Amino acid sequence: MHIVMTADHAGVDLKDELAAWLKEQGHDVLDLGTHGHESVDYPRFGALMAEALADGRAERGITICGSGIGVAIAANRNPACRCAQVDEPLSAALGRKHNDANAIAMGARLIGPEMAKACVIAFLTTEFEGGRHQRRVDQLTNPSERETA
């Protein structure tokens, strides 16, 4: 699977660890930074991940900041991105099953590498259920759909 990864300075170590682990699992990882501990602005990295999903460079995305909240908000500004902020595997699985999330955001200050890996596994292996959930996902992408639902 083609996976785009981004992080700010708070998430760079977790991003790097997950990227190496995902490559070992046979995934193609597009790492769009950051690549150091110098302070950077998280909105840029949420947006970069979303852009890679929107233009087809990646099928799924993972973004990391201190809490996971800021990068998720930034990523979700792009209508092509449905980024779920997750702290444990059930949220990651439900984000896929019910919301067709194509990205997850995690907080490096909130979870460790093993929990992050468990979230990634749930995110990458859970399928979207479709059905009644598809109508709701369509409303996320096309606000005009909300008026008729």
Q: Render pLDDT for 63-108 as a digit per residue (tens, 0 to 9).
A: 999 999 999 999 999 999 999 999 999 999 999 999 999 999 999 9
The CATH number of the domain where 131 resides is what? 3.40.1400.10
Q: Which pLDDT value is given to residue 92?
A: 98
User: Would you say residue 110 has pLDDT above 70?
Assistant: yes
Structure confidence at residue 128 (pLDDT): 85
Q: What is the pTM of this model?
A: 0.93
Residue 65 annotated to the active site: yes
Provide the pLDDT for residue 22: 98
Task: Work out the mean pLDDT of the chain and round it to a whole number.
Answer: 94
Domain count of the fold of the chain: 1
The yes-or-no verdict on residue 142 having pLDDT over 60 is: yes
Cβ(76)–Cβ(70) below 8 Å:
no
State yes or no: is 119 an active-site residue: no
- Report the distance separating Cα 7 and Cα 133, nearest Å: 29
Options 2, 27, 98, 133, the catalytic residue: 98
* Catalytic hit among 65, 81, 83, 119: 65
3-state secondary structure of 125: helix
Q: What is the DSSP string of 18-80?
A: HHHHHHHTT-EEEE----SSS---HHHHHHHHHHHHHTTS-SEEEEEESSSHHHHHHHTTSTT
Q: What is the domain extent for residue 8?
A: 2-147
Of 89, 135, 123, 125, nearest to 5 by C-alpha is 123
Give the bridge partners for 107, in sequence order. 65
